Amino acid sequence: MIRPEISDIGAPFWQGLRERRLLLQFDRASGRAQFHPRPLGLHGEAGVEWREASGRGTLLALTLSRVAPAGWDGPVPYPLALVQLQEGPRMLARVNASYEDLRAGQAVQVDWEAMGEGPVFPIFKPIQPPRRQP
């Protein structure tokens, strides 16, 4: 079972996941988002605040992962993508779709996957269903 080590800095992020909410840190002055959680802002010295993200993004890069992470009991291989969130940061996450139905530039939205008794993780799914060729 996956048991992530949760620091004080990342605690709001993990609490948000338990509530199925994707939270990001935002710079208080510029409003720019950052991910992964950090003690200081990347975009200025005004500090950061936690806000809920839209959960929407774009697939930037895809691969078919043939290696399962520790505690994973889902199917292997599975699509793994670099997702550019609408707010700016990028996340590496599993995509809940057939690899053949995915392409770079495709719009996705956050979905949720519970790992047994463990934590809930953000995954992504296409916003539009795949277009099948006749």
CB 124 within 8 A of CB 111: yes
- Residue-level pLDDT at 130: 63
Domain boundaries, the chain: 11-126
- CA dihedral (76, 113, 57, 87) positive or negative: negative
pTM of the full predicted structure?
0.86
- Residue-level pLDDT at 5: 61
- Phi, psi (5° rounding) for residue 84? -85, 110
- Residue-level pLDDT at 3: 56
Helix segments in the chain, DSSP class H: 11-18
**Residues of the chain where predicted confidence (pLDDT) is lower than 70:** 1-7, 129-134
Please report which helix (H) or strand (E) contains residue 11, including its range: helix 11-18
- Residue-level pLDDT at 1: 47
Query: Which residue do the tokens 């790992």 mark?
Result: 115
